[in-house]
């Protein structure tokens, strides 16, 4: 079965039996560590996240940390996000190559959304509307930078404010976005070199999830056509026809993410096959985070528990959660501190634990927000 995933990217499942008390203690420890590590402007950058670029955005930076802390009940982060927004406007994250203000996960759009959420400043809402509508004519056509992310931002504002301008913005974006879809159901993402990804971060699954929060979608033909099958198992390449050596089982690319975000609308048998593969592949050796870690993969099991009601999937999510707790603790002991980012760090694990405890299944930042 190993041809559907790369065993070198995974590690054996380890960890204690599920314990609500252990999960609550882990959440408290992660939050306390993050609160203590803030220096008044930002958090220390983790060496595994590449070169330190003083990130301010949702994915790696201050805005994402504030979003996650807010969701976990930690308060008082509005000024921190406003400071991050000021720094972004002076010097955008990512440099000239990747700086794009309407980006949801990396740009001004995501930072402004969090700043509004924490301050309810009307001027921020007006600027956010400009950023959202800027993606009407852009060609990123994916979640991180493109129209799918703008759909999520508009949906969040509609849910939080009830203002009809966000309904109008969402519908205008959705109409243009659906029209930009290729005849075979995929989107061509021009800004990264005319590519057509299948996964969540840059491709089909993320695009359809943003639409599915508020409109009916049909994903079965595309997912069945591109699935790699072996009996009761299924995975998806990052790109149609990609080299098997590039297969991933992560939130950003592969079965785990596709099931995590589309498990409620896709063919149930195919969703179960993707979930089974995610379980058999095991926790990710890369770490415990959301984007390419064990917690992110665990959301596939939460989606299947919601879809089927089968407690097997909740138990598997719990097993991944306990593994992730142990990995966070070992990494913190090794480095002497935590990993401070939303999508690649410890707070993503804390949110996964929080959702296990309260019965939520929604992957963070993807809604529905109503």
pLDDT, tens digit, 9 for 90 and up, residues 107-133: 999 999 999 999 999 999 999 999 999
Higher pLDDT: 163 or 96? It is 163
The arithmetic mean of pLDDT across residues 187-208, rounded, is: 92
Q: By the 8 A CB rule, do 290 and 343 touch? A: yes
Taking 90 as the threshold, does the pLDDT of residue 314 lie above it?
yes
Q: What is the 3 state secondary structure string of 82-107?
A: HHHHHHHHHCCCCHHHHCCCCCCCCC
pLDDT band at 1 (very low <50, low <70, confident <90, very high): very low
pLDDT, tens digit, 9 for 90 and up, residues 342-366: 999 999 999 999 999 999 999 999 9
The arithmetic mean of pLDDT across residues 66-95, rounded, is: 95
pLDDT, tens digit, 9 for 90 and up, residues 222-253: 999 999 999 999 999 999 988 877 899 999 99
d(CA 171, CA 312): 38
Q: Of 359, 270, 283, 362, which Cα lies nearest the Cα of 316?
A: 283
pLDDT, tens digit, 9 for 90 and up, residues 289-311: 999 999 999 999 999 999 999 99
Kindly give, in sequence order, each residue whose CB lies less than 8 Å from that of residue 313, ignoring residues fewer than 6 positions away. Answer: 275, 301, 302, 304, 305
Q: Of 324, 325, 311, 332, which Cα lies nearest the Cα of 37?
A: 332
Taking 90 as the threshold, does the pLDDT of residue 3 lie above it?
no
pLDDT, tens digit, 9 for 90 and up, residues 164-181: 999 999 999 999 999 999
Please tell me the predicted confidence (pLDDT) of residue 116: 98
Ordered DSSP codes for 237-274: -SSTT--GGG--BSSSSBHHHHHHHHTTTS-HHHHHHH
Taking 60 as the threshold, does the pLDDT of residue 2 lie above it?
no
State phi, psi for 233 to the nearest 5 degrees: -115, 150
Percent of the chain with pLDDT over 70: 99
Taking 80 as the threshold, does the pLDDT of residue 134 lie above it?
yes
Taking 90 as the threshold, does the pLDDT of residue 95 lie above it?
no
pTM for this one? Answer: 0.97
Please tell me the predicted confidence (pLDDT) of residue 241: 86
Q: By the 8 A CB rule, do 324 and 293 touch? A: yes
Tokens representing residue 123 in the block: 């001027």
Please tell me the predicted confidence (pLDDT) of residue 56: 96
Kindly give, in sequence order, each residue whose CB lies less than 8 Å from that of residue 205, ignoring residues fewer than 6 positions away. Answer: 198, 199, 257, 258, 261, 262
pLDDT band at 137 (very low <50, low <70, confident <90, very high): confident
Q: By the 8 A CB rule, do 205 and 254 touch? A: no
pLDDT band at 269 (very low <50, low <70, confident <90, very high): very high
Look at residue 10 and give its three-state secondary structure. strand
Higher pLDDT: 51 or 18? It is 18
Min mean pLDDT across 44-48, 240-244, 277-281, 297-301 is at: 240-244
d(CA 170, CA 154): 6
Asked, as a colleague might, if the bond just before 78 is cis with ω within 30 of 0, I would say: no
């Amino acid at each position: 079965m190993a041809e559907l995933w790369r065993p070198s990217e995974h590690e054996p499942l380890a960890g204690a039996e599920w314990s609500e008390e252990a999960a609550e203690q882990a959440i408290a420890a992660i939050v306390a560590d993050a609160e203590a590590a803030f220096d008044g402007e930002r958090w220390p950058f983790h060496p595994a996240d590449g070169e330190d670029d003083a990130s301010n955005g949702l994915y790696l930076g201050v805005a994402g940390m504030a979003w996650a802390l807010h969701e976990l009940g930690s308060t008082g982060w509005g000024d921190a996000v406003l400071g991050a927004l000021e720094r972004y406007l002076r010097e955008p994250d990512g440099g000239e190559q990747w700086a794009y203000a309407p980006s949801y996960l990396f740009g001004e759009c995501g930072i402004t959304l969090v700043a509004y959420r924490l301050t309810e400043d009307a001027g921020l809402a007006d600027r956010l509307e400009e950023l959202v509508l800027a993606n009407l004519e852009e060609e990123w056509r994916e979640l991180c930078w493109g129209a799918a992310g703008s759909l999520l931002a508009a949906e969040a504002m509609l849910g939080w404010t009830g203002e009809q301008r966000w309904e109008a913005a969402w519908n205008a974006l959705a109409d243009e976005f659906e029209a930009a879809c290729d005849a075979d159901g995929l989107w061509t993402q021009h800004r990264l070199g005319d590519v057509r990804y299948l996964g969540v971060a840059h491709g089909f699954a993320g695009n359809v999830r943003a639409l599915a929060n508020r409109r009916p979608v049909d994903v079965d033909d595309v997912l069945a056509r591109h699935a790699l099958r072996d009996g009761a198992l299924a995975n998806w390449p990052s790109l149609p026809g990609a080299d098997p050596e590039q297969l991933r089982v992560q939130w950003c690319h592969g079965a785990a993410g596709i099931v995590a975000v589309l498990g409620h609308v896709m063919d149930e048998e195919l969703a179960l096959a993707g979930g089974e593969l995610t379980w058999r592949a095991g926790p990710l050796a890369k770490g415990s985070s959301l984007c390419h870690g064990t917690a992110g993969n665990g959301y596939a099991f939460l989606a299947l528990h919601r879809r089927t009601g089968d407690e097997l999937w909740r138990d598997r999510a719990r097993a991944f959660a306990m593994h992730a707790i142990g990995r966070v603790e070992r990494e913190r002991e090794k480095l002497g501190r935590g990993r401070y980012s939303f999508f690649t760090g410890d707070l993503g694990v804390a949110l996964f634990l929080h959702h296990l405890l309260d019965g939520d299944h929604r992957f963070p930042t993807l809604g529905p927000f109503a």
